[in-house]
Amino acid sequence: MPKLLVVSLNYKTPDMTLRSVRSALVAMQGLNAELVLVDNDSGDGSFEKMQAELASADWAQDAPIRLIQSGHNGGFGAGNNVGIRAGWSDGSKPDYVYLLNSDAFPAPDAIKLMQTYLDTHPKAGFAGSYIHGEDGEPHITTFRFPSVWSELEGSMRFGPVSRLLKNKSVPIGVPETTQKVDWLAGASLMMRQSVLDEIGLFDETFFLYFEETDLCLRAARAGHETHYVHDSHVAHIGSVSTGMKVWTRIPQFWLDSRWHYFTKNHGRAYAVLATSMHMLGGLFWRMRRVIQRKPQADPPQFLRDLILHDLQAMVRPLPGKRDAATPIPGRAAVEGLTE
């Protein structure tokens, strides 16, 4: 029977994380699976609280679960890398790795359905679930890879342009059937260990956002597909640790991640063009806002922050290639480690 490693990453949400873990343990029944719970250097007593609960709760006794510490706050990808590298408790590697957000709750058959799908679809390197809110409303988690055209379409918000570039828009929507996509949100994502061995783990230069986009692109370039599995259902609260829903300004780490994604995967000239297209579309949208009195759609000063950030990034030396095991210094103070 294939071996499965479930990775759950906690950052300052121990109660919710343990609730998610309990759902995962139910969904792991009948599978040859273990769960590793990583506390991503919360520093707020989360580790000790979860440790006490796992030692005393009836549901945790004899459960295939262990709790470890990341040792540093390196971001979403770095924290998950700690869990992936931990492997099985006997030191062996699993056949599959399943990433589950701390605010995500799989249906009892959700994990098994994804593993069975990968077992029977050898071209698929990664598989992700149908994600919905606790109210049952579907979440958009299937996407195309970003491009200069998606930057224009997304920032312009103009019907004729969106229709012309409909096959370039990053969000795909909520597919009604299982299908191949470019990339999936990492809230519920199963990956072949063999693919990770081939392409590497998450690039830890990304503190938060774009890390799963980059990973899926690397897999695609190596010939491995990413599939959305509609029958695997997972409830997801969303943005609990990141605070994205209440952002009053776009964070530096989002701007850093976007720039790194484009420069790493397409080159600096392409990144400059992508920002130029975003600026063109953004200025057009802001002109429409004034004329038609449309509501604000971006965080305050978003376009200004994006342009200034990328102008500064253009004159900085390109970062050298980093091993995924190397932590990024100075990032531990930044809030938000799970998506």
* Per-residue pLDDT at 168 exceeds 70: yes
* Per-residue pLDDT at 41 exceeds 60: yes
Is pTM, for the whole model, over 0.85?
yes
Close Cβ partners of 177 (under 8 Å, ≥ 6 residues apart)? 230
**CA nearest to 275, candidates 311, 236, 232, 251:** 311
How high is the pLDDT of residue 337? 37
Mean pLDDT within 247-263? 93
Asked whether residue 165 is domain-assigned, the answer is yes
Asked whether residue 68 is domain-assigned, the answer is yes
Mean pLDDT within 162-181? 97
Asked whether residue 185 is domain-assigned, the answer is yes
Q: Residue 138 carries which DSSP code?
A: B
How high is the pLDDT of residue 315? 85
Asked whether residue 312 is domain-assigned, the answer is no
Asked whether residue 270 is domain-assigned, the answer is no
CATH number (domain holding residue 197): 3.90.550.10
Is the Cβ–Cβ distance between 190 and 97 less than 8 Å?
yes
Asked whether residue 254 is domain-assigned, the answer is no
**Separation between Cα atoms, residue 282 and residue 184, nearest integer Å:** 26
Asked whether residue 76 is domain-assigned, the answer is yes
* High-pLDDT (> 70) share of the chain, %: 91
How high is the pLDDT of residue 247? 62
Asked whether residue 265 is domain-assigned, the answer is no
Quote the number of domains for the chain.
1
* Per-residue pLDDT at 307 exceeds 60: yes
Q: Which of 32-41, 147-156, 239-248 has the lowest mean pLDDT?
A: 239-248
Domain that holds residue 134: 3-246
**Which residue spans within the chain are E strands per DSSP?**
3-10, 32-39, 65-69, 96-100, 104-106, 124-132, 142-143, 171-173, 179-181, 183-184, 188-192, 225-236
Q: Which of 6-10, 168-172, 329-333 has the lowest mean pLDDT?
A: 329-333
How high is the pLDDT of residue 316? 82
Q: How confident is the model at residue 245 (pLDDT cuts 50, 70, 90)?
A: low
Per-chain mean pLDDT for the chain: 92
* Per-residue pLDDT at 52 exceeds 50: yes
Mean pLDDT within 334-338? 36
